[in-house]
Amino acid sequence: MMLASVGPTSQDDGDVIAVREAPMLALAQQAVPAAPAPSAVAAQPVEEPAPALPEAQTGTAPPPANVPAGVPTGAPAPAEGENVIIVNASPRHIRADPLSAINVATFEAVNAVDKAVVAPVAGNYEKIVPKPVRNGLRNVLINLAEPIVFVNYLLQFKPGKALETLGRFGINSTIGVAGLFDMAKRKPFHLPYRQNGFANTFGYYGIGNGPYLFLPVLGPTTARDLVGRVLDLSIVPTIFGSPFNKPAYSIGTGTVKSLNDRVEFDEQIAANRAAADPYVATRDFYLKRRQAEVDALHSAEYRARKGIPDPVLPTIPAHVNDNAPEGSDAARPTVSIPSSTGMAPAAPAPEAPVSGTPALPPVPETVPAP
């Protein structure tokens, strides 16, 4: 933000100058002879100034005398001695985004690569790979992230949710065929999936976002979330060892996660690009979502005591598979919620509100056309 002050910064300064100049003016009046009589002045030839052209002929109106330079003439004139502040600010430059210049350059480069390579590949992936197979791969990656969720619920002193997460992991790893099917959320278990990670734990204990970052491959993040993601990605390889600590596993799972996310958020990406400033729209969506996820970790009593409103996720457009046969299950619009961890892909929005997770905004009622 650039601030430019026009005119004196204090009316008191002008008063001081007037007081100091008063004695000098009195001396000057004594030294200057009296003005000649009016008759003497009238005897001298007077050169008349040329008549001023009308405003319509000149094409421009003279600016008001009391408007400082740099202030638009259409603006109301400031009062005498009033400070004039000209503000030149961009929504890209905010306190949460001190590296906006670098982030914008990275964002534009990533967008170019996405349009040229990632989006077409993801479109073919959705067209070729059936939806049940994509869902199965997603469920496997979500199941592999359950140890991360379990550990962080323990760190947040939420033993009930930690035990539920442990139960989900055991059920889906066995009955669910290594997580291929999410059997834990079905009857008779009714154990919903919840997201959690080290970045959430940091936020739960009051650690702020830090600088906003837009990075290649990872996309939008913050300094806090970046550290949390590194820790998230270290849990499974550390606990289980091979093959989870092999580069082939990391590249394979990362590719599947990225493709699934790119498919599910095609409409969200299109909405961000259609905004007045796509970079700001992408950043605001991410920061609002993450704040809602962190706020949801606190109890309703805590939020009421601290004056925190009920956390609601920003609007997430539903994804429609245009390649699916009309009327089929694959063609139904689906709403997915981004994952807080660096391992799990986006998960489907729950059919009913889940405790400890932010709510989705209400769906606006559609008014039938007359």
| Euclidean distance between CA atoms 153 and 91, whole angstroms | 36
| Euclidean distance between CA atoms 290 and 200, whole angstroms | 8
Query: In this predicted structure, which of 18-27, 172-181, 321-330 has the lowest mean pLDDT?
Result: 18-27
Find the radius of gyration of the CA atoms of the chain. 33
Q: Which two tokens stand for residue 269?
A: 């990406």
pLDDT attached to residue 53: 47
Beta-sheet strands, E only, within the chain = 2-6, 84-88, 212-215, 219-222, 336-337, 347-348
pLDDT tier for residue 28 given thresholds of 50, 70 and 90: very low
The pTM of this model reads: 0.74
Q: Are 7 and 85 in contact (CB under 8 A)?
A: no
| Euclidean distance between CA atoms 80 and 85, whole angstroms | 14
Nearest to 192 by CA among 164, 166, 217: 164
Q: Which two tokens stand for residue 164?
A: 């539920």
Query: In this predicted structure, which of 22-31, 73-82, 115-124, 294-303 has the lowest mean pLDDT?
Result: 22-31
Q: Higher confidence at residue 317 or residue 20? A: 317
Q: Are 328 and 130 in contact (CB under 8 A)?
A: no
| Euclidean distance between CA atoms 170 and 176, whole angstroms | 9
pLDDT tier for residue 132 given thresholds of 50, 70 and 90: very high
Burial of 193 (0-12, 13-18, 19+ CB in 10 A): buried
pLDDT attached to residue 137: 96
pLDDT at residue 21 greater than cutoff 70 = no
pLDDT attached to residue 240: 84
pLDDT tier for residue 329 given thresholds of 50, 70 and 90: confident
Q: Are 169 and 147 in contact (CB under 8 A)?
A: yes
pLDDT tier for residue 266 given thresholds of 50, 70 and 90: very high
pLDDT tier for residue 352 given thresholds of 50, 70 and 90: confident
Q: Are strands 2-6 and 84-88 parallel, antiparallel or unpaired?
A: antiparallel
For residue range 167-217, list pLDDT tens digits in order: 999 999 999 999 999 999 999 999 999 999 999 999 999 999 999 999 999
- Ordered by start, the domain boundaries in the chain are 100-348
Sort residue 18 into left (φ over 0), alpha (ψ -120 to 50) or beta: alpha
pLDDT attached to residue 26: 44
pLDDT attached to residue 236: 87
